[in-house]
Amino acid sequence: MRRVSIVVLAVLAFLVVLIARLPAAWVVPALHNELTCRSVSGSLWDGECTGARVRGVALDQLAWQLHPQALLRARLGARVSAIRGDAAASGELTLGLTGPLEARALKAHLPLDPALLPMLPPVISGSLDADVTDLEVERNGAITRLQGRFTVRHLVDSSGQVTPLGSFSLHFPGGPGAPRGQLHDLGGPLALTGTLRLTAAPGYVLHAELAARADAAPSLRQALQYLGAPDAAGRRPFALSGTY
């Protein structure tokens, strides 16, 4: 019996060492439907993937540090960072077997590039900075919890003439209920205030008021005329809803 116990302990010790030092290159090929890498280095717990493609989106580098303590709660937790050219993002991600994806301390800087954000029209350019304290995303993509700030800088519309629009901030304060963000401009040709509410569809509902400032391009003033007559303050209402 003692000999059997020693053998069992030895096998367990071997498995612990194997898992702790498990090369990431052994695991990543099993994720080929979601993630491919040109080369993989490090271990399962602390690894790096260069030349990555995540659901078709190409990245220069993807790195992770898994949190073993999350496994005790049947969850996968990791510090993840990604780089693509001038774009970079990092944050703490947690995913359960059946529950939603959660993110904390999420920071990102990226150009408004349709290759990174396929939902964007190619005629829009600028940059996006995100600083998210708390985020929860359901399996169907619905965002059910959001606290953080998104800043779009130097937004330009090139659909006709090149039309500068300015910079804008969207702040989600968090709290119960459907996430609702406050939207306002940070100066520039387009004055804007409004709210953006995220729905369970998953979708969104946007209500805003817009006005052209004195330095606005004629093309921007002309475009705003399609929204109808302005109010006494020169603002025009704008509403948009949809799913994603």
| pLDDT at residue 33, as a whole number | 61
Which two tokens mark 147? Answer: 């606290």
User: In the prediction, which pLDDT does 20 show?
Assistant: 46
Token reading at 90: 């990092």
- 167 by Cβ neighbours in 10 Å (0-12 / 13-18 / 19+) ranks as middle
C-alpha distances out from residue 180 to 37, 71, 224, Å: 37, 32, 25
Q: Is the pLDDT higher at 243 or at 209? A: 209
In tens, the pLDDT along 128-165 reads 999 999 999 998 889 999 999 999 999 999 987 899 99
Q: Mean pLDDT, the chain, as a whole number?
A: 85
In the predicted structure, residue 212 carries a pLDDT above the cut 80 = yes
Q: What's the rounded Cα separation, in Å, for the pair 155 and 68?
A: 42
The pLDDT assigned to 98 comes to 81
The token pair at 218 is 């004629």
Predicted local confidence at residue 25, as pLDDT:
56
Output the pLDDT for position 28: 54
Model confidence at 2: pLDDT above 60:
no
Q: Please name which of 69, 75, 70, 106 lies closest in space to residue 88, comparing C-alpha atoms.
A: 106
pLDDT confidence of residue 24 = 53
Q: What is the pLDDT of residues 14-65, one digit of tens each?
A: 444 444 454 555 445 555 566 788 888 888 788 898 988 877 788 899 998 9
pLDDT of 239 = 94
User: 95-99, 174-178, 239-243: lowest mean pLDDT where?
Assistant: 95-99
- Predicted TM-score (pTM) of the model is 0.83
pLDDT at site 60: 93
